[in-house]
């Protein structure tokens, strides 16, 4: 088995796409007007309009995640948080060095999903 992607279902497709374009520094792939994705060596982050899952009769509810963290390894946590210029309420944890050595900042995307921007400690 191979994990292929994580998909966020949203009522604000354009808002989430714009946010993750800022986070990744890349333009989203848009194979359809109701779907976008960011592919990379670790997998794909997909973003889909809630219309794409309408047949599931409410099984998925946009903007209700309270248990999943979306993580991006970045080169400069502090610089990326500054670059994103997130407003009040979007930064949950300012850049902090964790006890295990990672530098990490936790932010919220426009749907309230928690995003961890982290870098691993430099080893010599």
Q: Which CATH architecture has domain 1-53?
A: Roll (3.10)
Encode pLDDT of 98-123 as tens digits: 999 999 999 999 999 999 999 999 87
**What CATH homologous superfamily does 66-124 map to?**
2,3-Dihydroxybiphenyl 1,2-Dioxygenase, domain 1 (3.10.180.10)
Indicate if the alpha-carbon torsion angle 27, 15, 78, 85 is positive or negative. Answer: positive
CATH 3.10.180.10, the chain: domain bounds: 1-53, 66-124
Encode pLDDT of 47-100 as tens digits: 999 999 999 988 999 999 999 999 999 999 999 999 998 887 899 999 999 999
**Burial tier of 17 (Cβ tally within 10 Å: 0-12, 13-18, 19+):** buried
């Amino acid at each position: 088995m191979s994990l292929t992607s994580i998909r966020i279902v949203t009522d604000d497709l354009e808002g989430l796409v714009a946010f993750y374009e800022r986070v990744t520094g890349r333009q989203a792939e848009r194979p359809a007007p109701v779907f976008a994705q960011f592919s990379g060596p670790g997998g794909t982050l997909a973003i889909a309009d809630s219309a794409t899952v309408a047949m599931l009769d409410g099984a998925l509810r946009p903007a209700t995640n309270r248990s999943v963290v979306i993580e991006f390894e970045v080169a400069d946590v502090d610089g990326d948080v500054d670059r994103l210029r997130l407003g009040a309420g979007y930064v949950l944890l300012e850049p902090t060095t964790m006890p295990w050595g990672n530098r990490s900042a936790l932010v919220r995307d426009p749907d309230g999903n928690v995003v961890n921007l982290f870098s691993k400690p430099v080893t010599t």
